[in-house]
């Protein structure tokens, strides 16, 4: 567990369930039986070597496409064995079931966009801010759930550094920082973290100022991902429920709104200046 000081986070893995470990062991055994290394198997099923390694270690929930793609590589019988193992999977500890499908898309995306109006995006949250959010969840989380969710959210943030060729764009409301949720110390850690992450070459953070007469984000938060096949997928969530948007027309509409919001928000450089000014005022 990383220290609660709002530093650069950590890249620890969320705790693995027994069913995930079992599935990973089955996949490894079938791959070995086919006499394929991870380096040979991964590109044939369209995933990175690191991602396949994490699935075999029981540290990643396997995407649905993996089962279909594995049949072409491992054969029909092996695919049936893998499908049987998948039926016994329990969801990855620390991530809500309604979020898992999007989490799998996140891990393989070549572009990720996120607009938030109620909370700082999860990929940008330091541990102190994450804890402040989960402490305010209703109904309250059990202690074990609390720790698992904090760990899982921190682990997701490794995407920013593990995928340097993925473009990440975030639009956040200045009001979220002005709110100073959980007090000045947590807000200071949050701003420091945003400034640190914003220095990554593949990350762009833009703030929507408090006064903004032309604002296209009134329909609420949204996330967009461009897949390796250059298809766009949208995602929205609220109150412990979510919707994955795969219809091209609907995803295109979301993409248009996001593009308009980027033009309305402060530039990355102006946002950095704003964050530095707010940090100095705390």
Reported as a single tens digit per residue, the pLDDT across 29-49 is 999 999 999 999 999 998 889
Residue 169, both tokens: 């764009």
Q: Which residues contact 231 (CB under 8 A, 6 or more apart)?
A: 248
What is the per-residue pLDDT for 7? Answer: 36
Is the pTM for the entire model greater than 0.85? no
The residue among 77 and 58 whose pLDDT is bigger is 77
Listed ranges 37-41, 61-65, 106-110, 158-162; the one with the highest mean pLDDT:
37-41
Q: What are phi and psi of 27, to 5 degrees?
A: -60, -45
> How far, in whole angstroms, is CA 184 from its chain's centroid?
26
Of 171 and 146, the one with more pLDDT = 171
Backbone angles phi, psi at 153, to 5 degrees: -70, -40
**Minimum mean pLDDT among 161-165, 190-194, 255-259: which range?**
161-165
Q: Which pLDDT tens digit goes with each residue over 187-223?
A: 999 999 999 999 999 999 999 999 988 899 888 899 9
- Say which residue the tokens 């069913």 belong to: 19
Rounded to 10 degrees, the C-alpha dihedral 272/4/131/16 comes to 110
Q: C-alpha 76: how far from its chain's center? A: 33
| Average pLDDT score, the chain | 86
Q: Which residue, among 58, 56, 61, has the nearest Cα to 31 in the 3D structure?
A: 56
Q: Are residues 130 and 179 in contact, defined by beta-carbon separation less than 8 angstroms?
A: no
How far is Cα 205 from Cα 141, in angstroms, rounded to an integer? 30
* Mean pLDDT confidence for 72-81: 90
Average pLDDT score over residue span 77-94: 72
Give the residue-averaged pLDDT of 245-270.
Answer: 95
């Amino acid at each position: 567990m990383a220290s609660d000081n709002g530093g650069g986070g950590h890249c620890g893995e969320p705790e693995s369930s027994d069913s995930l470990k079992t599935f990973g062991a089955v996949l490894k055994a079938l791959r070995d039986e086919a006499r394929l290394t991870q380096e040979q198997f991964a590109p044939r099923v369209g995933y990175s070597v690191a991602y396949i390694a994490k699935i075999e270690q029981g540290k990643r929930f396997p995407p649905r496409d993996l089962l279909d793609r594995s049949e072409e590589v491992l054969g029909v019988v092996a695919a049936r064995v893998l499908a049987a193992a998948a039926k016994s999977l329990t969801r990855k500890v620390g991530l809500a079931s309604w979020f898992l499908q999007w989490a799998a898309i996140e891990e393989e995306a070549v572009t990720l966009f996120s607009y938030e109006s109620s909370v700082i995006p999860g990929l940008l949250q330091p541990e102190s801010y994450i804890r402040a959010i989960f402490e305010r969840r209703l109904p309250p989380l059990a202690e074990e759930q609390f720790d698992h969710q904090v760990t899982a959210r921190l682990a997701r943030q490794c995407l920013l550094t593990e995928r340097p060729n993925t473009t990440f764009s975030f639009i956040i409301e200045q009001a979220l920082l002005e709110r100073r949720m959980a007090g000045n110390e947590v807000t200071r850690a949050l701003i420091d973290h945003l400034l640190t992450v914003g220095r990554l070459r593949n990350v762009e953070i833009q703030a929507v100022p408090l006064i903004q007469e032309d604002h296209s984000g009134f329909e609420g938060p949204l996330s967009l991902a461009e897949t390796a096949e250059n298809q766009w997928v949208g995602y929205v969530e609220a109150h412990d429920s979510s919707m994955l948007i795969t219809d091209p027309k609907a995803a295109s509409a979301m993409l248009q709104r996001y593009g308009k919001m980027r033009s309305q928000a402060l530039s990355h450089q102006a946002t950095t200046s704003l964050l530095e000014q707010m940090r100095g005022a705390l």
